[in-house]
Amino acid sequence: MKKISILLAFLLVGCSASSKQITYDNYIGQASNIPSSTTNYMYDITANLELFANDEYIYQVIIDNPKELMENIQIVAVHNQTTDDVFPSIGIFDGNYSLLVDGKTKGINLVGYIKEGSYETVTIKVMVKYNNITNYHIFKLDKN
């Protein structure tokens, strides 16, 4: 009986991880195909791109200053450059996040890396889901 319980636990964990990966992959697909930005949203969002090393740029997407309670937050950020790296996300693999209107919440910072290339501009697309709301954001960032 003990062996069956352990096997069942492994199967449940495996299914959960697989489900999260499917959600992540779906969100990456949705974010990659964002046609335009949401115009009305209840938080501040910024993005920036900086040279991190001789051959690598770091990009950050910062979400803070919520105007309403944001619960069950899930965010992915993708870019338009060729990469083998994963895209940054929050709330899919790593638990449940909220931002409060109290001013004490520090915000959310997603960070990713892009290898140096011949491009001059990087397009970052962000999908923000919370409280059964989905917002989309597009940033065109020039290399410094």
Neighbours of 77 (CB within 10 A): 24
Beta strand ranges found along the chain (DSSP E): 44-53, 56-64, 74-79, 89-90, 108-115, 121-130, 133-142
Across 7-16, 90-99, 115-124, least confident range: 7-16
pLDDT tens digits for 133-143? Answer: 999 999 999 98
* Average pLDDT across the chain, whole number: 86
At 7 the pLDDT is 34
- How far apart, in Å, are the Cα atoms of 138 and each of 15, 49, 141? 33, 14, 10
Fold classified for 2-142: Immunoglobulin-like (2.60.40)
Boundaries of every domain in the chain: 2-142
Taking alpha carbons only, the member of 101, 10, 120 closest to residue 57 is 120
Report the distance separating Cα 75 and Cα 82, nearest Å: 21
Who has greater pLDDT, 108 or 54? 108
pLDDT for residue 10 is more than 60: no
Report the distance separating Cα 1 and Cα 76, nearest Å: 41
At 58 the pLDDT is 93
pLDDT tens digits for 102-127? Answer: 867 779 999 999 988 878 899 999 99
